């Protein structure tokens, strides 16, 4: 089988390429050139491209570079900026997976005649009783990335391979060491790839693109209790950086009103909600949507490495089930609008969407 492997320059995708090569596939590595600006914290730097190219040389496979910079700007960076301007808390890594790694790359791979596209994500592809593919949790719970792949449909999964999902991170590094790969000891990327810490971080990045306005901090009763330098940088649930001394009891951002330049603050219990509304929900297939709408017992995950949360109820509505309301079995802290919730049947992802 001809397989196009997305090689980010990290150890996971390096080992994924090696495993597929060793399994007898005709493997070609590809690195996506996404961000042309300053980067020191993610997977978009010049050194990452160079690492991927050198690993491909070590593995004796062809290496390509696809320039998806315009798509990355339009589908990831510009929405990231616009969301902050609207008081939302986006997840750009999810949008990169949605639009670039599992859309543009799949389309390009198919056009070039490849049978499948592979990545180094820590997740597995499982199948239901009818053989329909599902994203499933990776075997290493500390590194599982199924949550950030919740938007993948069965049609897309038919052309995707995830070779390292059955390995722990330690096992991945051991394989890389045994192969002598230059990425064996390379640390994992942790942050948003287009935000440079040395260049001033998120505040500078956004401040160069939108006007950041000071805002008022008010209590639930409307009393002004402080100020913030930029209301666009505040996230619901945030505690640090609010500059509130108060009575010694921690206070958190409960609501962000960018138009009024106001952040409502309160105590931890004030963040508890009975449920969440979700928009732009993508189901892996119609069968998964019908399974959930029929009252099946499922769980939800609200962060990349969060624990599964039990649901009291889930309602599916909107065109094609694009709108979902979840009711928690026990009250949970409010999820910041713009973040994502994924729905699981055991270890398998049924779909996910964006919190309203």
Taking each helix axis as running N to C, give the angle between helix 11-22 and helix 169-179, from 0 to 180 degrees, rounded to the nearest 10.
70
Decide: 270 and 254 in contact? Cβ < 8 Å: yes
3-class secondary structure, 209: coil
Whole-prediction pTM value? Answer: 0.94
pLDDT, one tens digit per residue, over 88-102 is 999 999 999 999 999
Integer Cα distance of 326 and 314 in angstroms:
4
Q: Please, where in the chain does CATH 2.40.30.10 lie? A: 272-355
Q: What percent of the chain has pLDDT over 90?
A: 89
pLDDT, one tens digit per residue, over 126-149 is 999 999 999 999 999 999 999 999
CATH superfamily label, 2-121+162-179: HUPs (3.40.50.620)
Q: Give the pLDDT band (50/70/90) at residue 39.
A: low
Q: What is the pLDDT of residue 46?
A: 73
Q: What is the pLDDT of residue 108?
A: 98
Local structure of residue 188 (DSSP, 8 states) = P
Greater pLDDT, 45 or 221: 221
Q: Are strands 26-33 and 2-6 parallel, antiparallel or unpaired?
A: parallel
Which CATH number does 211-266 carry? 2.30.30.280
Options 3.40.50.720, 2.40.30.10, 1.10.645.10, 3.40.30.10; CATH for 272-355 is 2.40.30.10
Name 140's bridge partners.
none
Q: Please, where in the chain does CATH 2.30.30.280 lie? A: 211-266
Please say if the pLDDT value at position 123 is more than 60: yes
Annotated catalytic residues are 96, 193
Q: Please, where in the chain does CATH 3.40.50.620 lie? A: 2-121+162-179
Please say if the pLDDT value at position 37 is more than 80: no
Name 33's bridge partners.
67
Average of per-residue pLDDT across 84-88: 97
pLDDT, one tens digit per residue, over 287-306 is 999 999 999 999 999 999 99
């Amino acid at each position: 089988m001809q397989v196009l492997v997305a090689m980010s320059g990290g150890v996971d995708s390096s080992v994924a390429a090696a495993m597929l090569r060793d399994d007898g596939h005709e493997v070609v590595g590809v690195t996506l050139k996404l961000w042309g600006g300053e980067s020191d914290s993610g997977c978009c730097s010049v050194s990452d491209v160079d690492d991927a190219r050198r690993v491909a040389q070590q593995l004796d496979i062809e290496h390509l570079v696809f320039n998806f910079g315009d798509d990355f700007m339009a589908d990831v960076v510009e929405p990231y900026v616009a969301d902050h301007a609207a008081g939302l808390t986006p997840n750009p890594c999810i949008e990169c997976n949605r639009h670039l790694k599992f859309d543009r790359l799949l389309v390009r791979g198919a056009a070039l005649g490849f049978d499948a596209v592979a990545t180094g994500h820590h997740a597995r592809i499982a199948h239901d009783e009818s053989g329909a593919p599902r994203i499933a949790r990776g075997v290493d719970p500390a590194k599982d990335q199924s949550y950030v792949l919740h938007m993948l449909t069965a049609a897309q999964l038919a052309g995707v391979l995830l070779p390292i999902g059955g390995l722990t991170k330690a096992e991945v590094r051991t394989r890389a060491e045994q192969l002598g790969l230059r990425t064996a000891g390379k640390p994992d990327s942790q942050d948003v790839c287009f935000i440079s810490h040395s260049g001033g971080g998120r505040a500078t990045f956004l401040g160069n693109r939108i006007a950041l306005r000071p805002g008022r901090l008010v209590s639930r009763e409307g009393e002004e209790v402080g100020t913030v330098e930029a209301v666009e940088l505040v996230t619901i649930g945030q505690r640090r950086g609010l500059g509130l001394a108060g009575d010694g009891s921690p206070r958190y951002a409960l609501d962000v009103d960018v138009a009024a330049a106001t952040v409502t603050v309160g105590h931890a219990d004030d963040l508890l909600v009975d449920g969440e509304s979700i928009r732009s929900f993508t189901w892996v297939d119609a069968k998964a949507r019908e399974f959930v709408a029929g009252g099946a017992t499922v769980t939800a995950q609200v962060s990349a490495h969060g624990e599964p949360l039990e649901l009291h109820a889930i309602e599916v509505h909107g065109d094609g089930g694009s709108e979902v309301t979840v009711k928690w079995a026990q009250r949970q802290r409010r999820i910041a609008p713009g973040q994502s919730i994924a729905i699981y049947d055991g270890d398998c992802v049924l779909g996910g969407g964006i919190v309203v």
